[in-house]
Amino acid sequence: MKADSYKKGKEKDPNLPMRKRVQSEIIAWFWVGLAFLLINGTIGQARVIPSGSMENTLLIGDHLIMSRIGYDAGVPFTGWHMRLWRNPKRQQIVIFKPPYNPALPDYVKRVIGLPGETVDIHDGSVWIDGKRLEEPYTLGKTESPDPSASSIKLPYNVPENCYFVMGDNRGNSLDSRYWGCMPRKNLIGTPVMIYMSLDASPGAWDTGEIFQRFLAYANALVHPSSVRWRRLFRLF
């Protein structure tokens, strides 16, 4: 008898005043929204690759799950974020705010030089403190930029709390060779997995192209062959 009374007490009262029901729904959605903000701000986010600077490791239209755990915490839809305790390792792929203009979309590059190291580029390769770096993931020859197009001079001494980053597609990457190192404070996170990959017009993934993205997703439903199925769930 007591158990039946308890269950009835836990059920929603259909005669509850409208004001109370609305208030209950608002509170429930508030907690859902708060959970989303916490996850989005401290655990992970989604990203899409808009350019070919990381080919063939990452292709235009690859959709990534990014982990922020230990690297950065922030408030979604704002510019506020805070550096956490983890630091990236050499040859790790990272996602960060462009140092020369944080208002631009996030960049995705690979960590090459660590703080305190000397980075040089010659003979088609990267050299760290005088030793050649083995890079089986690159596309094209690694070359120094035209001095007139670069703000740095090689050999380059990487400052403290800074990282020398480069795209895997060395002939098509605006990276540390041109604008210098990536400050640690600009780091947001690192990719964990490709959850979707679509072969669509590159313009569909540009910032603000909502209609073009809608068409790309709609085309994938009608033509499943536009999905790069073999790339799905690839881990980093």
Catalytic residue selected from 51, 67, 97, 109: 109
Are 228 and 199 in contact, with CB atoms under 8 Å apart?
A: yes
Q: Single out the residue of 189, 183, 192, 194 nearest to residue 62, CA to CA.
A: 194
Q: E strands along the chain, which residues?
A: 44-48, 62-67, 72-74, 81-83, 93-96, 107-113, 118-122, 125-128, 131-132, 156-157, 162-166, 182-183, 187-197, 234-235
Are 53 and 173 in contact, with CB atoms under 8 Å apart?
A: yes
Q: Is 53 a catalytic residue?
A: yes
Q: Single out the residue of 31, 25, 27, 1 nearest to residue 12, CA to CA.
A: 25
pLDDT at 74: 65
| β-strand pairing of 131-132 with 72-74 | unpaired
Q: How far apart, in whole angstroms, are the C-alpha atoms of residue 27 and residue 29? A: 6
Q: Is 7 a catalytic residue?
A: no
Can you tell me which residue has the tokens 């990487």?
158
Are 97 and 81 in contact, with CB atoms under 8 Å apart?
A: no
Write out the two tokens for 13.
Answer: 């009262």
pLDDT at 71: 84
pLDDT at 3: 46
pLDDT at 1: 46
Q: How far apart, in whole angstroms, are the C-alpha atoms of residue 164 and residue 111? A: 6
Catalytic residue selected from 51, 53, 67, 176: 53
Q: What angle do CA 83, 207, 203 make, to 5 degrees?
A: 135
pLDDT at 69: 84
Q: How far apart, in whole angstroms, are the C-alpha atoms of residue 35 and residue 38? A: 5
- Average pLDDT per run of 10 along the chain, which is 236 residues long? 45 59 60 46 72 96 89 64 82 94 92 98 96 96 91 96 97 96 93 94 89 93 95 94
pLDDT at 131: 97
pLDDT at 97: 92
pLDDT at 9: 45
